[in-house]
Amino acid sequence: MSGNTFGNSFRLTSFGESYGSFVGGVIEGCPPNMDIDFALINNAIKARQTSIFAYASQRKENDEVQFISGIMNGKTTGTPIAFLIKNQETSSTAYNKNKNVLKPSHGYFTYWKKYGIYDYKGSGRASARETIVRVIGGCFAMMYLQQYNITIKAYTTQIGQIQTNKKNLFYGETISSNPLHCPDNESYVKMLEVLESAKKNKDTIGAQVSCVIRNTPIGIGEPVFDKLHADLGKAMLSINAAKGFEIGSGFTSASMHGREHNDLFTKEFHTKTNHSGGIQAGISNGEVIYFSVAFKPISSIMKDQESIDIKGNPAVYIAGGKHDICVVPRVIPVVEAMAALVIADHILRFNAYKNN
Amino acid sequence: MSGNTFGNSFRLTSFGESYGSFVGGVIEGCPPNMDIDFALINNAIKARQTSIFAYASQRKENDEVQFISGIMNGKTTGTPIAFLIKNQETSSTAYNKNKNVLKPSHGYFTYWKKYGIYDYKGSGRASARETIVRVIGGCFAMMYLQQYNITIKAYTTQIGQIQTNKKNLFYGETISSNPLHCPDNESYVKMLEVLESAKKNKDTIGAQVSCVIRNTPIGIGEPVFDKLHADLGKAMLSINAAKGFEIGSGFTSASMHGREHNDLFTKEFHTKTNHSGGIQAGISNGEVIYFSVAFKPISSIMKDQESIDIKGNPAVYIAGGKHDICVVPRVIPVVEAMAALVIADHILRFNAYKNN
Amino acid sequence: MSGNTFGNSFRLTSFGESYGSFVGGVIEGCPPNMDIDFALINNAIKARQTSIFAYASQRKENDEVQFISGIMNGKTTGTPIAFLIKNQETSSTAYNKNKNVLKPSHGYFTYWKKYGIYDYKGSGRASARETIVRVIGGCFAMMYLQQYNITIKAYTTQIGQIQTNKKNLFYGETISSNPLHCPDNESYVKMLEVLESAKKNKDTIGAQVSCVIRNTPIGIGEPVFDKLHADLGKAMLSINAAKGFEIGSGFTSASMHGREHNDLFTKEFHTKTNHSGGIQAGISNGEVIYFSVAFKPISSIMKDQESIDIKGNPAVYIAGGKHDICVVPRVIPVVEAMAALVIADHILRFNAYKNN
Amino acid sequence: MSGNTFGNSFRLTSFGESYGSFVGGVIEGCPPNMDIDFALINNAIKARQTSIFAYASQRKENDEVQFISGIMNGKTTGTPIAFLIKNQETSSTAYNKNKNVLKPSHGYFTYWKKYGIYDYKGSGRASARETIVRVIGGCFAMMYLQQYNITIKAYTTQIGQIQTNKKNLFYGETISSNPLHCPDNESYVKMLEVLESAKKNKDTIGAQVSCVIRNTPIGIGEPVFDKLHADLGKAMLSINAAKGFEIGSGFTSASMHGREHNDLFTKEFHTKTNHSGGIQAGISNGEVIYFSVAFKPISSIMKDQESIDIKGNPAVYIAGGKHDICVVPRVIPVVEAMAALVIADHILRFNAYKNN
pLDDT tens digits along B21-65: 999 999 999 999 999 999 999 999 998 886 567 777 766 666 789
- Tell me the backbone φ, ψ of residue A247, rounded to 5 degrees: -115, 135
Q: Which of residues 147-206 of C touch D (CB under 8 A)?
A: 158-161, 198, 201, 203-206
| Helix (H), strand (E) at residue D44 | helix D38-48
Mutate to test the interface with B, among D35, D353, D354, D355 (most CBs of B within 10 A): D353
Q: With DSSP H G I counted as helix, E B as strand and the rest as coil, what are the percentages for chain B, rounded to 5?
A: 30, 25, 45
Tell me which DSSP letter residue D313 carries.
Answer: -
Who among C4, C32, C80 is closest to B28 (CB)?
Answer: C4
Residue C127 to residue C125: CA distance in whole angstroms: 5
Q: Are D192 and D319 in contact (CB under 8 A)?
A: no
Q: Block means of pLDDT (10 residues each) for chain B, length 356 residues? A: 95 93 96 96 88 67 87 94 87 77 94 88 84 98 97 96 83 72 92 96 97 96 98 98 98 98 96 97 97 97 95 94 90 98 98 82
How many H-runs (helices) and E-runs (strands) does chain C carry?
A: 7, 16
Residue A56 to residue A179: CA distance in whole angstroms: 11
For chain C, the distance separating the N- and C-terminal CA atoms, rounded to the nearest angstrom, is 34
Kindly identify which residue of chain D lies nearest to residue C309, measuring between CA atoms.
D267
Query: Which amino acid does the sequence have at B7?
Result: G
- Tell me the backbone φ, ψ of residue B99, rounded to 5 degrees: -50, 125
Please give the pLDDT value at position C174: 59
Please give the pLDDT value at position D123: 75
ipTM score of complex = 0.97
In the three-class reduction of DSSP (H, G, I as helix; E, B as strand; rest coil), residue A312 is classed as coil
Chains in touch with C (≥3 Cβ pairs < 8 A): A, B, D
Q: Are B88 and B61 in contact (CB under 8 A)?
A: yes
- Tell me the backbone φ, ψ of residue A271, rounded to 5 degrees: -120, 150
- Residue B278's nearest CA partner among A128, A103, A243 is A243
Any A CB within 8 A of D21 CB: yes
Kindly identify which residue of chain A lies nearest to residue B236, measuring between CA atoms.
A230
Task: Kindly give the parts of chain A with pLDDT less than 70.
Answer: 50-52, 58-62, 89-92, 94, 122, 169-176, 355-356
Neighboring chain C residues of D298 at a CB cutoff of 8 Å: 258
Task: Enumerate residues 6+ apart whose C-beta is below 8 A from D20.
Answer: A68, A69, D87, D90, D124
To the nearest 10 degrees (0 to 180), the angle between helices D228-237 and D332-351 is: 150
Neighboring chain B residues of A205 at a CB cutoff of 8 Å: 256-258
Task: Enumerate residues 6+ apart whose C-beta is below 8 A from B301.
Answer: A258, A259, A262, B202, B203, B204, B319
Torsion angle, alpha carbons of D116, D118, D124, D126, to 10: 70
Kindly identify which residue of chain B lies nearest to residue A8, measuring between CA atoms.
B1
Q: Are A25 and A14 in contact (CB under 8 A)?
A: yes
Torsion angle, alpha carbons of B73, B77, B82, B86, to 10: 20
- Residue A230's nearest CA partner among C162, B142, B242 is B242
- Residue B123's nearest CA partner among B16, B25, B47 is B16
Residues C294-316 as b or e (16 or more Cβ within 10 Å = b)? bbbbbbbbbeebebbbbeeeebe
For chain A, the distance separating the N- and C-terminal CA atoms, rounded to the nearest angstrom, is 34
For chain D, the distance separating the N- and C-terminal CA atoms, rounded to the nearest angstrom, is 34
Q: Are B86 and B22 in contact (CB under 8 A)?
A: yes
Residue A257 to residue A341: CA distance in whole angstroms: 34
- Residue C2's nearest CA partner among D350, A325, A71, B141 is D350
Residue C107 to residue D280: CA distance in whole angstroms: 6
Please give the pLDDT value at position D174: 58
Task: Enumerate residues 6+ apart whose C-beta is below 8 A from C39.
Answer: none
CA A169 to chain centroid, in Å, comes to: 21
Residue C166 to residue C50: CA distance in whole angstroms: 27
Task: Enumerate residues 6+ apart whose C-beta is below 8 A from D176.
Answer: none
| Helix (H), strand (E) at residue C346 | helix C332-351
Kindly identify which residue of chain D lies nearest to residue B144, measuring between CA atoms.
D356
The answer to whether the Cβ–Cβ distance between D257 and C205 falls below 8 Å is yes
Chains in touch with B (≥3 Cβ pairs < 8 A): A, C, D
Compute CA distances D114 → A346, C328, D126, D131, whole Å: 22, 36, 13, 22
Torsion angle, alpha carbons of A250, A252, A253, A255, to 10: 160
The answer to whether the Cβ–Cβ distance between B265 and A109 falls below 8 Å is yes
Q: Identify any residues that bridge with C48 across adjacent strands, giving them in sequence order.
A: none
- Tell me the backbone φ, ψ of residue B284, rounded to 5 degrees: -60, 140
Whether the full predicted model's pTM is greater than 0.90, yes or no, is yes
Any D CB within 8 A of A75 CB: yes
Please give the pLDDT value at position D177: 78
Q: Identify any residues that bridge with C66 across adjacent strands, giving them in sequence order.
A: C84
Residue D96 to residue D117: CA distance in whole angstroms: 16
Mutate to test the interface with D, among C8, C111, C255 (most CBs of D within 10 A): C255
Q: Is the peptide bond before B224 cis (omega within 30 degrees of 0)?
A: yes
Q: Identify any residues that bridge with C81 across adjacent strands, giving them in sequence order.
A: C27
Residue A309 to residue C191: CA distance in whole angstroms: 77
Q: Are D297 and D206 in contact (CB under 8 A)?
A: yes
Please give the pLDDT value at position D54: 72
- Residue D88's nearest CA partner among D52, D47, D58 is D58
Residues D31-64 as b or e (16 or more Cβ within 10 Å = b)? bbebebeeeebeebbebbbbeebebbbebebebe
Task: Kindly give the parts of chain C with pLDDT less than 50.
Answer: none
Any B CB within 8 A of A322 CB: no
Kindly identify which residue of chain B lies nearest to residue C351, measuring between CA atoms.
B1
Q: Which of residues 33-72 of D touch B (CB under 8 A)?
A: 33-34
Please give the pLDDT value at position D152: 95
Q: With DSSP H G I counted as helix, E B as strand and the rest as coil, what are the percentages for chain C, rounded to 5?
A: 30, 25, 45
Q: With DSSP H G I counted as helix, E B as strand and the rest as coil, what are the percentages for chain A, rounded to 5?
A: 30, 25, 45
Sorted by where each starts, the structural domains of chain A and their CATH numbers stand as 96-355 (3.60.150.10)
Q: Which residue has the higher pLDDT, D321 or B270?
A: B270
Please give the pLDDT value at position D239: 98
Residue A200 to residue B192: CA distance in whole angstroms: 48
Please give the pLDDT value at position A55: 77
Q: Are D263 and D276 in contact (CB under 8 A)?
A: yes
- Tell me the backbone φ, ψ of residue A11, rounded to 5 degrees: -120, 140
Beta strand C22-28 with C151-159 is: unpaired
Task: Enumerate residues 6+ apart whose C-beta is below 8 A from B203.
Answer: A257, A258, A259, B297, B301, B302, B303, B325
CA distance D69 to chain A (A): 5
Residue A179 to residue A188: CA distance in whole angstroms: 9
Burial classification of residue A72, based on how many CB atoms lie within 10 Å of its CB (0-12 exposed, 13-18 middle, 19 or more buried): middle
Kindly identify which residue of chain D lies nearest to residue C104, measuring between CA atoms.
D264
Compute CA distances A189 → A169, A172, A205, B253, whole Å: 19, 18, 16, 21
Please give the pLDDT value at position B75: 95
Q: What angle do CA D157, D163, D166 make, to 5 degrees?
A: 60
CA distance D11 to chain A (A): 8
Q: Are B127 and B18 in contact (CB under 8 A)?
A: yes
